[in-house]
Structure 1
């Protein structure tokens, strides 16, 4: 038995050694594909005794920035792959290109040092299991994608190896070729030459003058936006056409936001170039403000046009309107919701494309699709459920704008149908706000689903002596004279209940709509009660006492 165990352990050890050797061999076989071949002469560009550190991406970027900040541009030039330049041009152009690239990085990049690989092979060690880059060496890394004059330019690192030397990380030849163009677009502005040198001292990631000018610039921009908003509001009061006036009143604030974003972009293009952290936050913020302002402005204009169409074609919405008119108004609201969804989708696409986030977010979104689905399902369940229920109402139309409904004991009109809630207007001018998802899950009465007519019931409780034949004739005469009663052939009366205390008499009359029917029922009831009060007061309900008919025994009788 012991011999068998020894043999098994030796076989296991042999297998482990064999698998390890096979893995090492496979690694050696694939290692050649993790770098770019380069001429050894290109690695010696630039002069200087300073030792360069280029083994990992993080080390290369950090050392490059430290050298340029210290003014050692010859040493910094050795971090650029200048293989596309002649040897004479390398020594001449290298230091200047290093200086320009350092300024571009300072003003455009907010470097995530923790996310910048510290491995020589730049392998991603952890991440989503379905990320194809996890566990694989990389030979190039993108640091920043920027856009200049509609063209995309990237600052990128590559891993290079010359024969007989170790692999190192350098800025790629494409990046070097793009440096003059990037420096012209993002280098120091024309007004920075007038800033005193002591204000260029770095403070908490920004230069001192940036901390001073940013609050002033933001205050001036928002003041300019306020002036634009007030000007648009004042112009709206002088316009005679209702559509234009209403549109201008609604777009005051979004136009102010657009003006702020445009003015800020103009100031940045005019000659002010901020550092990387400020640029990373400021430019996306201004882009989002501009896109949101334009989108809201367009939406407000569409709202104003739709409102004028509604008021001009339909007028005030209630259940007195025809079915076609109420369906048209509901369809207008549905069109508005579709327009909002389209605008939001277009705005998101524009922002992502302008910020070049599709490339960086695309893989992450695909890799984390399951996680996003779970998060959206949990966090956005209520909102998404209400939006889907709103679209369901818009398509199926179980209710329409202006329908008269009875919901949880409240008689109300459907005043508005929004994405996540409905607004109901009760007969006494109260407003009931109901989440759409809750509304469609509860039973309700739609008194206008086919037409607005409604059969109203007036109930009166009277004594047994009340004569229905007399009251029937009186009710018919009163109802035929009332303007709120239609279809006189539908008039009807009946004793609907009977008890010890009296009898319940019901009177039925048809009205053109619920609101008219309510008022008509009140008038008919008052006239019936007046007739009974003046002609038959003995018909009012009376209390009856039942007396004991058994004779009482006389006192003292046994």
Structure 2
């Protein structure tokens, strides 16, 4: 009974001393590190892990020294073994907390709440992925070290190694899909193909990358649904990334109207509309005839916005406004079907209409700038240069 009391008193005293020392260090570090981001992160995130690790380690030393090496009772061996397992787990927790502090400190240097945050989102994606891999490795190593403290596990180690080849093949086949997703996640994080908060189009759905893990990717759809895909999907299936190089994007709104529509007047109305809304970023405003078959013509309005969300609203606004403009101001240009009954030789007087002569335009008249996508402005010229092939110089194209 005396040895039990001595052990309990020694363990409590060691725990109290360790906790007090860690608390004093914590308060001093918090006071000295008010201007240091690293010190503030350490005092905030690593304090509890350091306190537990120091307390468990102090209790282990106290129990080992108070019981003495000559005492070979069973309870001492069991207690010391439990304390060793606790020290291993607490040390793993402390190492994980320290790595998390370093990663958070590195992430604090890159802000994602700024307009041009592509580099910051890329670094954040890579750091988050590394954190997940690091935690997984630490957990596996911790479990392995804890198992090696059992004599029975060490005794069967030789037998396990002899069959490691067969077990490895079976495990590789069983975990092929999982390992494929893990490597795909690492590839996505470091290839810069997709980042957190990127706007993508996958499976016909438009949304943004909300979460990127080692095994799956969560895409937040525009209507607040969540599309969960394996990471291997993004390495084996084509997808659209609207914000890989910049947040500003282009969008279209298409209309099928009658041949009698005044294209230039509709183009001017589109220009007046986009200039009156803050959704337009001032880069691209183009209205072009893309098809003229099947009894109707197809007009495509191409506009630009600073972000994908603004572009969505701008495209809807363009459709709504131009549909109302055609209905109210050019009702004859609404889509229609024509049917004529007459002589196949077109000899009846009403079957032939003399074409009207279009007024002559000055020789120096040119196509207006807002009718050209590849030219007419600095942005259009840059876009045109980007689509010139390596064997076709810009002078030849012009």
TM (norm. structure 1) is 0.46
Aligned twin of 1:428: 223
Aligned twin of 1:209: none
| 2:3 paired with 1:190 | yes
Aligned twin of 1:313: 110
Change in 2 beyond 3 A, CA 1:431/1:477: same
Aligned twin of 1:323: 118
Aligned twin of 1:491: 285
Once the two structures are superposed, residues 202-244 of structure 1 have per-residue CA deviations (whole angstroms, 9 ceiling, x without a partner) of xxxxxxxxxxxxxxxxxxxxxxxxxxxxxxxxx9xxx999999
Q: How large is the Cα RMSD of the aligned pairs?
A: 4.7
Aligned twin of 2:303: 509
| 2:209 paired with 1:396 | no
Q: Distance in 2 between matches of 1:278 and 1:434?
A: 52
| Alpha-carbon distance, 1:456 to partner | 0.8
Q: Distance in 1 between matches of 2:117 and 2:113?
A: 12
Q: Distance in 1 between matches of 2:72 and 2:48?
A: 28
Aligned twin of 1:410: 205
Once the two structures are superposed, residues 368-415 of structure 1 have per-residue CA deviations (whole angstroms, 9 ceiling, x without a partner) of 111220231133233222222222223322212232211111222223
Larger CA deviation: 296-305 vs 470-479: 296-305
In 1, are the aligned partners of 2:292 and 2:298 still within 8 Å (CA)? yes
Once the two structures are superposed, residues 40-79 of structure 1 have per-residue CA deviations (whole angstroms, 9 ceiling, x without a partner) of xxxxxxxxxxxxxxxxxxxxxxxxxxxxxxxxxxxxxxxx
Equivalent positions of 1:289-308 (< 5 A) are 290-300=87-97, 302-303=99-100, 306-307=103-104
Aligned twin of 2:355: none
Change in 2 beyond 3 A, CA 1:460/1:298: farther
Once the two structures are superposed, residues 144-173 of structure 1 have per-residue CA deviations (whole angstroms, 9 ceiling, x without a partner) of xxxxxxxxxxxxxxxxxxxxxxxxxxxxxx
Q: Distance in 2 between matches of 1:284 and 1:461?
A: 79
Pick one of 244, 259, 264 that aligns with 1:449: 244
| 2:279 paired with 1:477 | no
Q: Secondary structure at the match of 1:457?
A: strand
Change in 2 beyond 3 A, CA 1:274/1:447: farther
Once the two structures are superposed, residues 125-155 of structure 1 have per-residue CA deviations (whole angstroms, 9 ceiling, x without a partner) of xxxxxxxxxxxxxxxxxxxxxxxxxxxxxxx
| Alpha-carbon distance, 1:425 to partner | 2.3
Change in 2 beyond 3 A, CA 1:545/1:531: closer
| Alpha-carbon distance, 1:507 to partner | 0.7
| Pairs aligned (count) | 322
Equivalent positions of 1:243-258 (< 5 A) are none
In 2, are the aligned partners of 1:496 and 1:506 still within 8 Å (CA)? yes
Pick one of 456, 459, 463 that aligns with 2:254: 459
Q: Distance in 2 between matches of 1:421 and 1:505?
A: 40
Q: Distance in 2 between matches of 1:247 and 1:516?
A: 40
Q: Distance in 2 between matches of 1:548 and 1:532?
A: 29
Pick one of 335, 339, 342 that aligns with 1:541: 335
Q: Distance in 2 between matches of 1:374 and 1:294?
A: 33
Q: Distance in 1 between matches of 2:249 and 2:227?
A: 23
Pick one of 347, 355, 366 that aligns with 2:142: 347
In 2, are the aligned partners of 1:322 and 1:451 still within 8 Å (CA)? no
Q: Secondary structure at the match of 1:313?
A: coil
Q: Distance in 2 between matches of 1:515 and 1:548?
A: 50
| Alpha-carbon distance, 1:471 to partner | 0.8
Q: Secondary structure at the match of 2:280?
A: coil
Change in 2 beyond 3 A, CA 1:361/1:487: farther
Is the radius of gyration larger for structure 1 or structure 2? Answer: 1
Q: Distance in 2 between matches of 1:463 and 1:539?
A: 5
Q: Distance in 2 between matches of 1:432 and 1:419?
A: 16
Larger CA deviation: 381-390 vs 295-304: 295-304
Change in 2 beyond 3 A, CA 1:519/1:545: closer
| Alpha-carbon distance, 1:503 to partner | 2.8
Change in 2 beyond 3 A, CA 1:257/1:459: farther
Q: Secondary structure at the match of 1:190?
A: helix
TM (norm. structure 2) is 0.62
In 2, are the aligned partners of 1:257 and 1:289 still within 8 Å (CA)? no
Aligned twin of 1:197: none
Q: Distance in 1 between matches of 2:323 and 2:272?
A: 14
Aligned twin of 2:178: 383
Change in 2 beyond 3 A, CA 1:428/1:366: same
Q: Distance in 1 between matches of 2:80 and 2:341?
A: 97
